Amino acid sequence: MSDEILFQKIVCNDAQRLDSFLARFLGEVLPGASRSGIATAIKAGLVSVNKKAVLKPAHKLKINDEVLVKKSRIPNENSRISSENSRIPNELFEKIKIIYEDDDILVISKPSGLVVHEASSLKGESTLVDFLKQSNRQLATLGGEFRAGIVHRLDRYTSGVMVVAKSDFASARLSSQLQQKTASRIYIALCDLPLKQNCVVERAIGRCENNRLKKAVYPLGKNGAKYAKSAFCNIFLDEVQNPQNSPKKNTPNIIAAKLFTGRTHQIRVHLSSINRHILGDVLYGFKGSCDIIRVFLHGYILELKHPRTGQMMSFCAPLEDDFAALIGVDTRTLNEKLTKNFVLSCFEPNNQWLCLS
> Any idea which residues carry the catalytic annotation?
155
Strands 52-53 and 7-11: unpaired
Nearest to 257 by CA among 323, 203, 190: 190
> How far is the C-alpha of 339 from the C-alpha of 84, rounded, in Å?
42
Count of helix runs (H) and strand runs (E) in the chain: 8, 18
Angstrom distance (rounded) from CA 212 to CA 357: 24
Please provide the DSSP assignment of 285-316 as one string.
T--S-TT--S--EEEEEEEEE-TTT--EEEEE
Distances from the Cα of 315 to the Cα of 13, 92, 177, 181, 344, angstroms:
52, 21, 16, 17, 12
- Which residue, 251, 268, 250, is CA-closest to 259? 268
Contact status, residue 193 vs residue 253, Cβ threshold 8 Å: yes
